[in-house]
Amino acid sequence: MEYSHFKEHTDRVVESCSRVIVGKEETVRLIFISFLCSGHVLLEDVPGTGKTMLLKAFARTVGSRFKRIQFTPDLLPSDLTGINFYNQKTGEFQFREGPLFTNIVLADEINRATPRTQSSLLEAMEESQITVDGVTYPMAEPFFVMATQNPVESYGTFPLPEAQLDRFFMRLSLGYMTREQEMEVVSRPSTADILNSLEPVVSPEVIQEMKELYTKVRVQKDVLGYMMDIVEKTRTESRFVTGVSTRGAIALYKASQAMAASLGRDFVIPEDVKAAAPWVLSHRIISRGGESFEDARNRRAGILLGQGKSLKETLESVHMVVEGVNTATAAYEMAHKYNVEMPIVEEAYNILYNGRNAREAVLLLMTREKREEK
């Protein structure tokens, strides 16, 4: 297979999935890259943004079996892996496979399950095998997990420890559609009909060829040095408690190779590293505030707004749901509804929607007329 064919196959996968999920071509490309690298994806987003539909479309596009597992606090490890049951007809114990024995798994709201159940899934991801009652069973090939969690809700959840987060190849977010994209989706007849009409655009043989071909993409010494500069900076930066692990460095190397191949090249350039790094590394970094680098999206959005970026430009740059935007909007609407004076909320709203410069907003707040506390 030539690298030009690699690009053509990648473009077909992206185009097919985009018939169902509008405007998320880059996310689909990153998911396909993770799939080819035998990695797994953690998708953080609020409910209703199309996560399940996206993975169903992806499974149909690559011709793989798909299962969705809803994670809940009462879900047991055996509910994932399977059980040995006594067959009265044969007088022997038989193994009944769990839902993990498929090609593509959607682990929906993984942080709602207990750590013990989470670990059983992560073992399958890491080892590509499952052990039940001392017997080891290999996973299907290919085996790909996309786990989801809601970044807003925390009640009744069990956050993934850093060691488990590190086992995800990438952490992505779909985010909201643009106004035009959402109008297109809302007005079309049926997304389910489009999904059901999808046919595989790549065969298992082609996928295997692509998995082998991307590993042959050349990485020059200076580009490898550039990768290691990024990794080492995360370990020496004073803002971070922990930097990127060796597993993370290997993931960045693989993702950069696959990114180059998906664009039709047999060599990696710094732009490939830049395109992959935020998604491969962000969840592996812990800041001194105790939050992961990607969890600081509200701070990043605030910095961009403070630099004079518009709300649209800010959201496009962050590439993730920024909860503070919705919170500020809701607070503004409630304040006006109940006639409560909230000057900081008022100025935040002006910055978001009325084009107010952040410096000007701060100046207005600092010089406003003083009032006695009641």
The 10s digit of each residue's pLDDT in 268-318 is 999 999 999 999 998 888 776 555 544 566 777 888 888 888 888 888 777
What's the predicted TM-score (pTM) here?
0.75
Q: Decide if 319 is inside a domain.
A: yes
Whether 159 and 279 share a structural domain? no
Whether 331 and 184 share a structural domain? no
Identity at 259, one-letter amino acid code: M
Whether 192 and 284 share a structural domain? no
Over residues 180-227, the pLDDT tens digits come to 888 888 888 777 888 888 999 999 999 999 999 999 999 999 999 999
Q: For 6-12, which contacts have Cβ atoms below 8 Å and span 24 or more sequence positions?
A: 6/210, 6/213, 6/214, 6/261, 6/262, 6/264, 7/261, 7/262, 7/263, 7/264, 9/201, 9/202, 9/206, 9/210, 10/261, 10/262, 12/201, 12/202
Residue span of the structural domain in which 281 resides: 217-290
The residue whose two tokens read 């080492």 is: 232
Contact, 103 vs 142, CB < 8 A?
A: yes
Whether 92 and 171 share a structural domain? yes
Whether 312 and 240 share a structural domain? no
Contacts of 77 (CB under 8 A, 6+ apart): 116, 117, 119, 120
Higher pLDDT among residues 346 and 191, named by residue: 346
How buried is residue 256: exposed, middle or buried, by Cβ count under 10 Å (0-12/13-18/19+)? buried
